[in-house]
Structure 1
Amino acid sequence: MKITRVEAIPFAIPYRKPLRFASGEVHTAEHVLVRVSTDDGVVGVAEAPPRPFTYGETQAGIVAVVDTIFAPQIVGLSLLERETAHARLARTVGNPAAKSAIDMAVWDALGRTLGVPVTQLLGGYTDRMRVSHMLGFDEPAAMVAEAERMRDTYGITTFKVKVGRRPVSLDTAVVRALRDGLGDAVDLYVDGNRGWTAAESARAMREMADLGLLFAEELCPADDVLARRWLVSRLDVPFIADESAVTPADVTREVLGGSATAISIKTARTGFTRSQRTQHLAEGLGLEVVMGNQIDGQLGSLCTVAFGASAQLTSRRPGELSNFLDMSDDLLAEPLCITDGELTIRPGAGLGAEIDPDKLERYRRDR
């Protein structure tokens, strides 16, 4: 079970339409496929989606750091020496998506070696999660139409609405249109990606007070420490820390400092090892948890549902598991399928993911 090779393969797949939000927009999934091979001939896989406007990583940067720094540090380790691998990767500052993809590929390889699903290795609570869908910036009618399509086609009834534009009335009008168009049978929550000030956020939440929102996420920057605490203390819905709470230490600081009352766990930036630590911390602190999405492809979404389904706390709320539907294609040999608003884990060992070699050859960027 010794690791003999770690590969980072860049690929690019266009989105059907741009995804727009307060911190940037995305036209193409410029991701990295990470493969971890062992001396037994097992290959574990995971996906690294860089988000340069949030974490500073780029596709080229992920490939470089995996090839030149991370791979030499973990080649030769056993798949069971995950804590050693984690400690070695942690010596390098930043690079969350690169580290996480290696971590998840190691877990996948371990599951394949043992003949056990990763979800079972992580806890085995259930085999599925309810799905929420992220709605990016657009005109109200277009966003309502997209939500209706997701509801009618896939059975999705929870929607995360991107906000953070100025004036705030642009976004409050969208959320109101969604509530009016979809009725009370759907759940809505908002994510500002730090686009508003605390005062703008407070005004927007007052304007939407009658809409029955589930959560508010990262409406204003966490660096505006006093203003953020002021805002969170005045809200009557849980305030989710997302990009401001990547590590367990971040979660502790934001929650105990009064800057958040819930958290988003994204396996794309914390892998399985650190995500599990964060989950246990959230359980101890009594926090709400939402499984988030880093605009993952199907492999990344499979990692999210594998982790989210493994524990009661992380499977309680719908997970953000559907944005692969916005991609024009994907790498998996057997596409994921959302049915009746749920996504199930793949049967079989590890993550149950098989990469289509022809599609990888078509979309990879290192040829």
Structure 2
Amino acid sequence: MKIISVEAFPFSLPSRRDFRWAGMLGQLGNFVAVRITTENGVTGYGEATPLPDWGGDFARHGGETIGTVINMVTTVIGPALIGQDVTAVTRAAQIMDRVAVGNVYAKCAVSIALYDAWGKCAGLPVYKLLGGQVRDSVPVAHMVGLMPEEDALEEAIAAIDDGVSCLQIKGGTDAARDIRLIGVLRKRLGDDITLRLDANQGYGHAKSAMETVRRLVEAGVSMVEQPSEGLRYMAEVTASSSVPVIADESCWDVNDALDVVSTRAADCISVYLAKAGGISGACKVADVAEASLIPCDVNGSIESAIGTAANVHFALARPAVSLGAVIAISGPAGRHPYRVAGHYYDDDILTEPMQVSNGSILPLDAPGLGITVDEEKLAAFRCDK
């Protein structure tokens, strides 16, 4: 089961439309693939979605790029893992932390590939390696990006018509626009749909954010994600809010999760595999949340099929991950199960579409990540050749 090679290379997918959030300068759909090969011929795939312009509170986390991830994996992390047992994921995580400080996106991509290979070696899907499923499927919250109000309304209604019951509405650049949009959506969609407004830290200091959240509640919002920057301001907003407040940029790893709990900075936590440095780190965040009676979602930067599959396995196996997941539903060109819901890319690198029911992704039961990577398509989408 020893690792004999660790590769990293960039690839891109074509977007169905432009998806953005507050502060985002680049485009979705750019990834790093990691491929780990073992001495017995097993291949594990991982993925990173680094964004240099997105990170944690006060720029304490983040800042990785496609280039930095590839360089760290190929020159630092990969060489340190050659000869290691691919199933020894805890030891691998320790090795990665020893040879590289930070660089959580690079570590996440390697972590996913390790779990994929381990599952294939054991003949088990990743969620069983994580303790087995605690839910029958993973409900998806469709992300409505920053776009003109009429376009956002059209996107949201179409996603609900596809069958999802939760929307993440991107905002934070214009509070009045966000309040209007939530009000219109609540009137059009009724009371049974979860409307989650993600401000990406955009509502300023505590008093400003508190007033905006109050008006969003009057308009019909169900939850507000990351209205302010920093635990101090987040705690003030959370204490004053009559709807749940979600920490995203304020909570990356297990240490941040402990700080969120101790300061009462949020009612919920948005967990990214990448923020936590991989699957094992994300499990620690979710387990702290569970012990503290804090619900979570699994979120990210709208991964390709590789990262999405990892998110599904994580969400299936962690009790705290009970909120709608802001993730893609992956399918190859012309075979996506929905017209809009979870449909961010016109094509993807898996051979068969993920199976869904009522806006939820069903378990991926094949060994490892449970998907078959289309090698020809992956090669065609590579950006370095």
Q: Normalised by the shorter chain, which TM-score bucket?
A: over 0.9
Contact map agreement 1:18 1:25 (CA 8 A) in 2: no
The answer to whether residue 145 in structure 2 is matched with residue 139 in structure 1 is: no
Find the residue that maps to 1:347 and give its secondary structure.
Answer: coil
Farther-moved stretch of structure 1 (323-332 vs 30-39): 323-332
In the other structure, the counterpart of 1:330 is 348
2:210 alignment partner, one of 187, 202, 208: 202
1:215 to 220, 223, 228: 223
Unaligned runs of 5+ in 2: 55-61, 331-342
Query: Given the alignment of the two structures, is residue 260 of structure 1 paired with residue 266 of structure 2, yes or no?
Result: yes
Matched, 1:76 2:79: no
**Farther-moved stretch of structure 1 (65-74 vs 263-272):** 263-272
CA distance in structure 2 between the partners assigned to 1:350 and 1:127 by the alignment = 18
In structure 1, distance between residues paired with 2:234 and 2:291: 23
Cα displacement string for residues 327-358 of structure 1 (whole angstroms, at most 9, x for unaligned residues): 12211122324332110122211111221122
Residues 1:113 and 2:131 are matched in the alignment: no
Q: What is the CA distance between 1:90 and its match in structure 2? A: 1.5
Aligned match of 1:51: 51
Partner of residue 361, structure 1: 379
| Paired position in structure 2 for 1:159 | 167
Partner of 2:185: 178
Are the equivalent residues in 2 in contact too, given 1:12–1:31 (CA < 8 A)? yes
Structure 2 distance, partners of 1:200, 1:15, is: 35
Aligned to 1:236: 242
Contact 1:18–1:26, Cα closer than 8 Å, also in 2 = no
**Residue from 333, 339, 356 that aligns with 2:357:** 339
In structure 1, what residue type is equivalent to 2:195? L
Could you say what the CA RMSD is over the residues aligned between the two structures, in angstroms?
Answer: 1.7
**Counterparts of 2:215 and 2:136 in 1: how far apart (Å)?**
39
Task: State the match for 2:139 in structure 1.
Answer: 130
Percent identity over the alignment is 30
Matched residues in 2 for 1:38 and 1:214: separation? 47
Query: Superposition pairs for residues 280-295 of structure 1, below 5 Å?
Result: 280-295=287-302
Q: Secondary structure at the match of 1:93?
A: coil
Match of 1:104 in 2: 112
Equivalent in 62, 68, 86 of residue 61 of structure 1: 68
Three-state SS of the structure 2 residue aligned to 1:10 is strand
Residues matched between the structures, number: 362
Q: Displacement, 1:243? A: 2.0
The SS at the match of 2:311 is helix
Partner Cα distance (1:219, 1:52) in 2: 21
Deviation of residue 292 (structure 1)?
A: 1.3
- Contact 1:193-1:219 within 8 A present in 2 as well: yes
Q: Do 1:139 and 1:174's aligned partners in 2 also have CA atoms closer than 8 Å?
A: no
Q: How much has 1:323 moved relative to structure 2?
A: 6.7
SS in 2 for 1:269: coil
Residue 354 of structure 2: SS of its match in structure 1?
coil
SS in 2 for 1:309: helix
Give 3-state SS (helix, strand or coil) of 1:267's partner. coil
1:292, 1:148 → 2: CA distance? 21
Amino acid at match of 2:268: A
Cα distance in structure 2, aligned partners of 1:207 and 1:243: 23
Question: Partners of 1:257 and 1:164 in 2: how far apart?
Answer: 24
2:189 partner letter: L
Distance 1:342 1:28, change over 3 A: closer
SS of residue in 2 equivalent to 1:227: helix
Would the alpha carbon gap of residues 169 and 212 (structure 1) be closer, same or farther in structure 2, given more than 3 Å must change? closer
Asked if 1:5 corresponds to 2:23, the answer is no
Bigger shift: residues 198-207 or 101-110: 198-207
Contact 1:47 1:268 in 2 (8 A): no
Q: Which residue of 1 aligns with 2:333?
A: none
**In structure 1, C-alpha distance between the alignment counterparts of 2:25 and 2:161, rounded to whole Å:** 26
